[in-house]
Amino acid sequence: MDLPPSSTQYQLQVTPYGNDGPGVNLIGDATETFSLPAPPDWYGLLPDMSYAGRVRSTDSATAVTGDDASWGPRSSAGSFRTPSVASATVTPFLPVNGGAVGNLTPVLTWASSTDDIFYWEIQLSKDPSFGTQAFLYSELRHGGVTVPNNSYQVPSAFPLEAATSYFWRVRPRVQGDGTPLSWQTPSSFKTPAQGKLSLTVSSPADQLVVNTRTAAVTGVAKPGALVVVGTAFTTAGSNGRFSLTANLVEGINELDIAAFDLATGERVTVTRSVTYFP
């Protein structure tokens, strides 16, 4: 749409099919055009989906909000469709296919050959057909906000079984009026034996900044393991979960969170940096 010559600002609105997903609603300088930046600068439109767009303008000499009376009528809606994607653009990265993981809440990561896919579906199961024969971890993940990017961590509340082979697969998320994609070829890994000491810290996150004198420390270790941080200690439960509280001093705190197998003397340590600013 061509704006009137007197236009000083425009409002652009772009909505996805069925309002199923993110869109655009912005006010800009009428002398400039707007291009959607690629991730990670901005996470915008989803693949293989129809979008409708409309625009209006104002000749106000000062910046205005969306409810200002100076706005002109909105244009009739135009439409466009975003490009399709393929499962072949994604490759499992870690764990190595057929390898082993060190604990029961591993982080699964994948790589993408394109930088404009950021919404993913992931499945994890003991069943290589991902059917109803075993518990199915089935999640949606925004790969731009996971740590690391494009990753999924098995939740500490539902750790995997020990000494067990697992299969996982991932695909770009297609929704709205798009056509769901086929899954990429599954990868596999094996969890450690129950007797092996392991430690996964769910919280606190590394480089966390807090304004309290304590920090909650939670995670999963070998059932029965002694977990220690500073002067606080607890015993991991029958499901491996543990929870305790670490005292902090003002400034940067390097928390050494250690799990001990009292029968074998084995020790595993994870360090988290937590900064306390009153």
- Residues 168, 41: contact at Cβ < 8 Å? no
Whether pLDDT at 253 is above 70:
yes
- Fold match flag (9-81 vs 199-276): yes
Nearest 5°: the CA angle 204, 208, 209 is 130
What CATH code would you report for 9-81? 2.60.40
For residue 198, pLDDT beyond 80: yes
Q: Is the pLDDT of residue 209 over 90?
A: yes
Report pLDDT digits (tens) over 29-60: 988 777 877 777 777 888 899 999 999 999 99
Please state the rounded mean pLDDT for residues 9-38.
Answer: 87
Is the pLDDT at 73 greater than 80? The verdict is yes
Beta strands per DSSP E along 43-106: 50-58, 78-81, 90-94, 99-100
Structure tokens at 247: 């005292």
User: Is residue 265's pLDDT more than 80?
Assistant: no
pLDDT at position 181 is 93
| pLDDT classification of 117: cutoffs 50, 70, 90 | confident
Is residue 154 over pLDDT 70?
A: yes
Helix (H, G, I), strand (E, B) or coil at 14: strand
Q: What are phi and psi of 87, to 5 degrees?
A: -65, -20
Q: DSSP states of 71-85 as a string?
A: --PPPPPEEEEPPP-
CATH numeric code, 87-190: 2.60.40.10
| Topology of the domain covering 199-276 | Immunoglobulin-like (2.60.40)
Mean pLDDT computed over 86-99: 91
pLDDT of res. 195? 65
* pLDDT at residue 134, rounded to an integer: 87
Interatomic CA distance for residues 155 and 189, integer angstroms: 17
Give the least confident one: 25-29, 38-42, 128-132: 38-42
Going by pLDDT thresholds of 50, 70 and 90, the confidence category of residue 162 is confident
Of the listed ranges 35-44, 67-76, 187-196, 245-254, the one predicted with least confidence: 35-44
What are the residue boundaries of the structural domains of the chain, listed by start?
Answer: 9-81, 87-190, 199-276
Whole-prediction pTM value? 0.66
Task: Please give the residue that has the higher pLDDT: either 193 or 84.
Answer: 84
